[in-house]
Chain A
């Protein structure tokens, strides 16, 4: 059932995840991911009609913080961690295109 995920799918998700794959990697990852998805497909036998989704293991609700400022981070300390900075900002290679 290696058709659970195609090479094209893997190339596409690699792009979405900002990863680049060589030909050999694309081949290998496609096979490996298909194996895992095959295993995961076990659950197809389960009847999930009407079963609600669980995204939190422990039920807690309305966790809120008061709107009170606290000292932030020292800019110099933060920028010291950055690969490249300029004029108090993070410098990056040119961004092509606006945010979606």
Chain B
């Protein structure tokens, strides 16, 4: 989570840096040290909970006991049976609603590097431990088994990430480990109501990997079942290079974490006033922004995900409010403004759309003007005038059309007498000739109208 300091101590929460340069007595678990909870981490957790529509509850911390060299105390302080956020859901752009079970606070571990051997964990010659990450606040969000495909899983993580970014809880950088995904997957025969045995896939470090790993794992499980074998419940490691998952080696017969209430911390009891104050700080969430734009444009939220994701929904709304055709607004944002809107204003975009629709500018000219407006922030009229984009006048255009019809009698005949397909083809031919003659300055709709008029149709 995006705090300045660790969950239980005041050394820096920052990615990278020299190994063991952001450490203190508490996060190192030195004897005699005690944890003190970071208020900001709690409020970020509350923000996420509220964004998910979860219930923010009184909670306690517990110790999860297991040995691993990168865990300084050999227990992790986490929330177990009484997490801060319970329930909630996340609505995906598709409209699908994925339930969330809980979102709880816990501390991160340090980082081990395995040295020697082939760099693989199981034949390393020794390991090195860096505790910079130890004690960094994490929020673990557990979803219900509501996702039905790798694509949906990706959509879910994308939406979750957008929500986390929106509320300022995380920078969402999967490659830096600030957003990590453990994906549980099971398969079942078509029509079967019960879930199959699941496997948990770890080490998924990008959205793309998530899709690949789940596709692979689903196929593996289907193959097992098809050949009469069974799926064993286990944790599996995704290997990015081989594109496969493999079981994690586990020495212990069974993991027994021996959770119990953390005696060094006291209960966290957010009162209603505190919760409401945090709620009031929440920005509009991606879902709310999609719905808001949907109401303004009459388009389904699914279509608006991209515009919202790019943060262009505010501009879209203002442009629409300025009277521009919503469809034209969206089309420009989707197709021509992938790299950002720069200094483009709502009024400018609205004006440009008016010029485009009145035929003052051709579609090619619109693109050029738009690009210029993004950099300069000028009005479309100013840009168009400077570029010499004066639309070909109506009288002038009629002359050009007549001349080209005269120059191509055979083609003209085919246009007049041909079937639908032939007529469309020839219409394209004549439009092209007119455009070439006017160096693309003619308005396509006017050309079509003139051709129709001359053909007497």
Contacts and interface: CB of A to CB of B under 8 A. Distances in A.
Given A56-B263, A64-B38, A73-B25, A95 B114 contact: yes
B124 interface: yes
Nearest to A56: B266
A99 B71 contact: yes
Contact of A79 (B20, B122, B126): B20
Interface stretch (A24-32, A34-42, A44-52, A83-91): A83-91
Interface in B38-65: 38-42, 60
Given A63-B36, A94-B114, A89 B10 contact: no
A60 B266 CA distance: 6
A86 B127 CA distance: 10
Contact of B129 (A62, A90, A94): A90
A82 to B, nearest CB: 9
Contact of B10 (A63, A64, A69, A98): A69
A72 B237 contact: no
Contacts of A72: 10-12, 21-24
Nearest to B258: A16
Contacts of B70: 99
Contacts of B19: 87-89
Closest 10 CB pairs of A and B: A67-B40, A70-B10, A72-B11, A89-B128, A64-B39, A55-B261, A97-B249, A90-B129, A72-B24, A99-B68
B24 A70 contact: yes
A61 interface: yes
B38 A67 contact: yes
A61 B126 contact: no
B209 interface: no
Interface of B: 3-5, 10-12, 18-25, 28, 36-42, 60, 66-71, 109, 112-114, 116-117, 121-131, 202, 235, 237, 248-252, 255-256, 258, 260-261, 263, 265-270
Nearest to B237: A98
B128 A95 contact: no
Contacts of B266: 56, 60-63
7 contacts: A62-B267, A67-B3, A89-B128, A90-B128, A92-B69, A97-B122, A99-B70
B67 A92 contact: no
Contacts of B28: 73, 78
A68 B11 CA distance: 9
Contacts of A99: 66, 68, 70-71, 109
B37 A64 contact: yes
